[in-house]
Structure 1
Amino acid sequence: MDEKSAFETFELNLPPAILGFLKETSTWTYFLSILGFIGIALMILGGLFFSLMMNMMPGGNPYAGLGVDMSYFGLIYVVIALLYFFPVLYLFNFSRKMKSALRSNNNDQLTAAFSNLKSHYKFIGIFTIVIMSLYVLIFVFAMIAGTL
């Protein structure tokens, strides 16, 4: 006879209030992730439009004397949109898997949902540390350049 351990037969055993909170959270994260995908698409389109249109306008590049092409500014928007894609994708996957876990009482889906939520916050945390470090570096270089 093949006996299953208590862990293999474990089902979601959460109080109804927590299930309600998780359901509402998954609804809001789904909404925010869809808005995030729309924002990413608009950033990519805006970046490409800016890159193409600024080079076509006569006198549209005030930085031409410095050797800077205006299309670089549009590409910065595209790069930021691509970076923003990953946390939005993690949030989207969290909401889908959480809804599935709550619907089917599936522990594996619940684990996958929280794994995606952890990845979302980990990405946001690391990205925040990187941006804050860049701010500190810019501030330090500005202070050094100000004393020269």
Structure 2
Amino acid sequence: MEQKSAFDTFELNLPPAILGFLKETSSWTYFLSILGFIGIGLMLLFGIFFSVAMGLMPGGNPYEAMGMNMNMSFFGWIYVAMALVYFFPVLYLFNFSRKMKSALASNNSDDLTAAFSNLKSHYKFLGIFTIAIVSLYLLIFIGALFTGLM
């Protein structure tokens, strides 16, 4: 006869205080994810509007007299790219809150596992993104030092 571990028969047997913390956390993460989606939508709208407005502006480039010969609509597309990058952590946060609410309502350990998997993905994405941005800042700083010394 095969012996089952405590993990095989796990059901949401958590203390009421922890269940309350998880319920409150899922409510706040849901609120923050909805605000994140609204922010992404506004960033997309602003980026597209700015790109079109700068493309249609008479004279094209207001900085041309200063020697900057570039298409100004490029800056609007930076907002679109930032919105696309920002979409993934917000989606992970939204999925965490949705799965956590489902797990708490139905005592479902599979939903609890999926919720924490989404939370892990959210923080992993933010961690990798932070490392990339700090590395970029470091490279810019080193580049500025070298160009300043020459």
TM-score > 0.5 by shorter chain: yes
Tell me which of 56, 69, 72 is aligned to 1:70. 72
- Return the TM-score normalized by structure 2: 0.91
Cα pair 1:63 1:69 within 8 Å, conserved: no
Over the matched positions of the two proteins, sequence identity in percent amounts to: 75
Question: What is the aligned-residue RMSD (CA, Å)?
Answer: 1.6
Superposition misfits of 4+ residues, deviation over 6 angstroms: none
- 1:59, distance to aligned residue in structure 2 (A): 3.4
Which range moves more in the overlay, 87-96 or 56-65? 56-65
Query: Which residue is equivalent to 1:25?
Result: 25
2:99 is the counterpart of 1:106: no
- 1:60, distance to aligned residue in structure 2 (A): 5.2
Cα pair 1:26 1:94 within 8 Å, conserved: yes
Q: What are the Cα deviations for residues 108-134 of structure 1, in whole angstroms up to 9, with x where unaligned?
A: 000000000000000000000000000
Q: Which amino acid aligns with 2:113?
A: T
Query: Which residue is equivalent to 2:122?
Result: 120
- 1:67, distance to aligned residue in structure 2 (A): 2.9
Tell me the distance in 2 between the aligned counterparts of 1:57 and 1:108: 54
Tell me the distance in 2 between the aligned counterparts of 1:68 and 1:29: 41
2:122 is the counterpart of 1:142: no
- Return the TM-score normalized by structure 1: 0.93
Structure 2 residue matching 1:139: 3-state secondary structure: helix
Q: Which amino acid aligns with 1:101?
A: A
Which range moves more in the overlay, 114-123 or 69-78? 69-78
Q: Gaps (5+ residues) in structure 1?
A: none
- 1:63, distance to aligned residue in structure 2 (A): 4.0
Tell me the distance in 1 between the aligned counterparts of 2:46 and 2:3: 56
Tell me the distance in 1 between the aligned counterparts of 2:104 and 2:149: 60
Tell me which of 78, 90, 93 is aligned to 1:91. 93
Tell me the distance in 2 between the aligned counterparts of 1:29 and 1:129: 23
